[in-house]
Copies of this chain bind each other. A is one copy, B any other.
Amino acid sequence: MKYQKFLDIKSVQIQDEFWSPLQSLVMETVIPYQYGILNDQIDGAEKSHALDNFRIAAGKEKGEFYGMVFQDSDVAKWLEAVAYALALRPDAELEKKADEIIDLVGQAQEENGYLNTYFSIKEPDKKWQNLQECHELYCNGHMIEAAVAFHEALGKDSLLKIMCKTADLICDRFGKGKVRGYPGHPEIEMALLRLYRATGERKYREEALYFLNERGTEPEYFAEEAKTRKLELGLMDPKDRNLTQTYAPVREQEKAVGHAVRAVYLYTAMADMASEIDDPALTEACRRLWKNITRQKMYITGSIGATVHGEAFSVDYELPNDLIYAETCASVAMAFFARRMLELEVKGEYADILEKELYNGILSGMQNDGKNFFYVNPLEVVPGVSGVLPEYKHVLPRRPGWYQCACCPPNVASLFTSLGEYVWGEKDDTIYAHTYVGGRASFKKQGISVLCESNYPWQGEIRYTVEIPKKYQSFTFAVHIPGWCQGWNILLNDKEADYFYQDGYIYLQREWKNGDTLKLTLPMMPRRVYSNPLVRADAGCTALMRGPVVYCFEETDNGKNLAALRLPKDETISVDTMCFLGKKNIPLLKMNGNRVMEEEGQLYSDKPFPQKETALCAVPYFMWGNREAGGMRVWMVEG
């Protein structure tokens, strides 16, 4: 076994003070709410029509297609989330709804396996003509992932059968010696790999490999396609090979560029394939792209995609906090990518980013009530500017209820319900705890279980209990130590433990006894974080973190005009744990600071404007925007 693998959802039970309520929120609120959206039953929400499109394509209703060209994917992503949710907690009524929708998908599928309601209803003669924009492979990919989820999580194969037929059509059509092509929005590559693993059918893996290998070869496919296609959507410039990640064959790509979600879906598939076929050149490309993202193109919150233009990566170190794009889906994609990189090689930096995304960039996408969602996750919000001025129209200061291009909310729902797949891993005789999500893992090969208990991320004590059917068993237990953590304490059965540290993990190799406990204590004092000076947006500023959680300053705690606040360099930051947004024991950060005082009628002055002492309060970034509307700022001017 060369590569480490994460445990699947069925091998992991989550019981966690932080995550279990979020999973319940997704199951009890988000999924039912999204069902209402898909059926256009939510007053005041933007029209979805997504299920009506399927009903029309299935011949069960009359009407016109409505929505984005990728509207089908909303249904697919909801189904995927439902599969995981049902694995977490049976729900006959929800399962019945899902089964009905799966039936509907089957009825909307064409005889030969083709599945896409936009084309079936609206443009039946123009299928597969515009792979760059039309998202057919993307929508099919998401539905395949939903099918695999039902198969893996519940052992239900009705959707799998439907989607194998679609996958077969794709395999028959595209490939060497067949029609050339690859998707504008990668997704099918990840999906086909999962489908291969679920079915054992090698052609799905080969097809995924074809799409990866063909990308970026000459002549570039999208430019070729653009010469003859009769269907234009005009979303992307077919000549911009950065935007479409086709500037070089994937193994030669050096820079993470273009549409951030598309890019990272592609890189995730590359990483997954690299371990699948043991491809060192692909592995090396993944490492390069990972480094470029995490060393040059990532916000402190884990968000990526700095510019609204193409919803894309900007140039290195260009990370504006206010003009930002930072799509929630791109953070979800980074969690996918991190997980696959950890499978390729166990290194703490991958787990660090996985953690960063979970506790910041992804979680900030969802309102406390589970009914409102950010697409864009700014690090600075300015009343009267954000969401108002033309440059800032996309930066909404409040999470809206829904929007037409509703990719992010169901992605968050899926990720949270499938969270079990992001915690534990194994390889040979080593078991891995990559994140500190509480609950029990069952390592079937070793026949052991491990229980994790913690109040992470709010407290730094994590307690593992080993459960072995026999009295003793020899294996290695590896636990991730976050990169932010300077100095930690490890006790084995309350005594100093013997371990070795490598690449962000501690390894305890020994004869384990049933009931052995491992207690890890991480220092949780608040930290000031600084940006590389090449990040001009953060010049002169500091951000606050505690554990993996990034903090921010909101107007409601700190008054108007957050840019006027100053955090003195030597000021102590204290932790004040309180009930916040209806959640108990949330650590807020308190400190003394200064406010530069406005002077009426004076725009510039030869003297520094006077400062006044003021109490400052920072709250967890992912919880921002849940109270009164107002400004927000992660990076605070120091000095």
Q: Are A295 and B602 in contact (CB under 8 A)?
A: yes
Q: A536 interface residue, CB < 8 Å from B?
A: yes
Q: Are A603 and B541 in contact (CB under 8 A)?
A: no
Chain A residues with a Cβ under 8 A of chain B:
291, 294-296, 298, 300, 307, 309, 314-315, 318, 323, 382, 384-385, 388-391, 484, 486, 527-536, 539-541, 561, 563-564, 566, 595-599, 601-609, 637-639
* A-B contacts, 11 listed (Cβ < 8 Å): A295-B603, A296-B603, A530-B608, A532-B602, A533-B609, A534-B564, A539-B540, A540-B566, A540-B637, A540-B639, A638-B639
A385 and B609 contact, Cβ closer than 8 Å, known pairs A307-B391, A533-B564, A597-B533: no
Residue in contact with A531 in the complex, picked from B298, B536, B601, B604, CB distance below 8 Å:
B604
Residue in contact with A598 in the complex, picked from B309, B529, B534, B606, CB distance below 8 Å:
B534
Q: Which residues of B contact A595 (CB under 8 A)?
A: 533
Cα–Cα, bound, A539→B565 (Å): 9
Chain B residue nearest to A531 in the complex (CB): B604
Q: Which residues of B contact A484 (CB under 8 A)?
A: 606
Q: Are A606 and B531 in contact (CB under 8 A)?
A: no
Q: Which residues of B contact A603 (CB under 8 A)?
A: 294-296, 298, 531-532, 535
Q: Which residues of B contact A296 (CB under 8 A)?
A: 603
Closest Cβ of chain B to A554, distance in Å, is: 15
Q: Are B561 and A606 in contact (CB under 8 A)?
A: no
Central interface residue in A296, A531, A536, A602, by most chain B CB within 10 Å:
A536
Cα–Cα, bound, A300→B602 (Å): 12
Copies of this chain per assembly? 2
Residue in contact with A596 in the complex, picked from B315, B533, B563, B597, CB distance below 8 Å:
B533
Cα–Cα, bound, A524→B369 (Å): 60
Q: Which residues of B contact A598 (CB under 8 A)?
A: 532-534
Cα–Cα, bound, A389→B319 (Å): 13
Q: Which residues of B contact A607 (CB under 8 A)?
A: 530
Q: Which residues of B contact A295 (CB under 8 A)?
A: 601-603
Q: Are B536 and A605 in contact (CB under 8 A)?
A: no
Closest Cβ of chain B to A318, distance in Å, is: 6
Q: Are A564 and B539 in contact (CB under 8 A)?
A: yes
Q: Which residues of B contact A390 (CB under 8 A)?
A: 307, 309
Closest Cβ of chain B to A213, distance in Å, is: 30
Cα–Cα, bound, A541→B601 (Å): 20
Cα–Cα, bound, A598→B389 (Å): 34
Closest Cβ of chain B to A334, distance in Å, is: 14
Cα–Cα, bound, A637→B536 (Å): 10
Q: Are A605 and B534 in contact (CB under 8 A)?
A: no
Closest Cβ of chain B to A88, distance in Å, is: 34
Cα–Cα, bound, A549→B539 (Å): 25
Cα–Cα, bound, A529→B281 (Å): 55
Chain B residue nearest to A602 in the complex (CB): B532
Q: Are A318 and B389 in contact (CB under 8 A)?
A: yes
Chain B residue nearest to A633 in the complex (CB): B536
Chain B residue nearest to A527 in the complex (CB): B606
Cα–Cα, bound, A603→B294 (Å): 7
Residue in contact with A529 in the complex, picked from B307, B601, B605, B639, CB distance below 8 Å:
B605
Residue in contact with A315 in the complex, picked from B389, B534, B601, B602, CB distance below 8 Å:
B389
Cα–Cα, bound, A602→B530 (Å): 10
Chain B residue nearest to A566 in the complex (CB): B540
Q: Which residues of B contact A531 (CB under 8 A)?
A: 603-604
Q: Which residues of B contact A605 (CB under 8 A)?
A: 529-530, 532
Q: Which residues of B contact A291 (CB under 8 A)?
A: 601
Identify the 7 closest CB pairs spanning chains A and B, nearest first: A536-B563, A533-B564, A533-B596, A309-B390, A639-B639, A540-B637, A540-B540
Q: Which residues of B contact A536 (CB under 8 A)?
A: 382, 561, 563
Chain B residue nearest to A388 in the complex (CB): B315
Chain B residue nearest to A599 in the complex (CB): B532
Chain B residue nearest to A317 in the complex (CB): B603
Closest Cβ of chain B to A103, distance in Å, is: 45
A604 and B318 contact, Cβ closer than 8 Å, known pairs A534-B598, A563-B539, A639-B540: no
Central interface residue in A604, A608, A637, by most chain B CB within 10 Å:
A604
Closest Cβ of chain B to A417, distance in Å, is: 30
Q: Which residues of B contact A309 (CB under 8 A)?
A: 389-391
Q: Which residues of B contact A533 (CB under 8 A)?
A: 561, 563-564, 595-598, 609
Q: Which residues of B contact A608 (CB under 8 A)?
A: 528, 530
Q: Which residues of B contact A300 (CB under 8 A)?
A: 604
Q: Which residues of B contact A532 (CB under 8 A)?
A: 598-599, 602-605, 609
Closest Cβ of chain B to A252, distance in Å, is: 21
Q: Which residues of B contact A391 (CB under 8 A)?
A: 307, 309, 323, 391
Closest Cβ of chain B to A553, distance in Å, is: 13
Query: Other CB < 8 Å A-B pairs besides A528-B608, A535-B603, 20 of them?
Result: A300-B604, A307-B389, A307-B391, A309-B390, A309-B391, A318-B389, A323-B323, A323-B391, A484-B606, A486-B606, A528-B606, A529-B605, A530-B605, A530-B608, A532-B605, A532-B609, A533-B564, A534-B564, A534-B598, A639-B639
Q: Which residues of B contact A384 (CB under 8 A)?
A: 315
Q: Which residues of B contact A606 (CB under 8 A)?
A: 484, 486, 527-530
Central interface residue in A315, A484, A533, A595, by most chain B CB within 10 Å:
A533
Cα–Cα, bound, A385→B320 (Å): 12
Closest Cβ of chain B to A540, distance in Å, is: 4
Cα–Cα, bound, A315→B602 (Å): 16
Q: Which residues of B contact A639 (CB under 8 A)?
A: 540, 638-639
Q: Are A561 and B534 in contact (CB under 8 A)?
A: yes
Q: Are B389 and A314 in contact (CB under 8 A)?
A: yes
Closest Cβ of chain B to A539, distance in Å, is: 4
Q: Which residues of B contact A566 (CB under 8 A)?
A: 540
Closest Cβ of chain B to A509, distance in Å, is: 30
Q: Which residues of B contact A564 (CB under 8 A)?
A: 533-534, 539
Q: Which residues of B contact A530 (CB under 8 A)?
A: 604-609
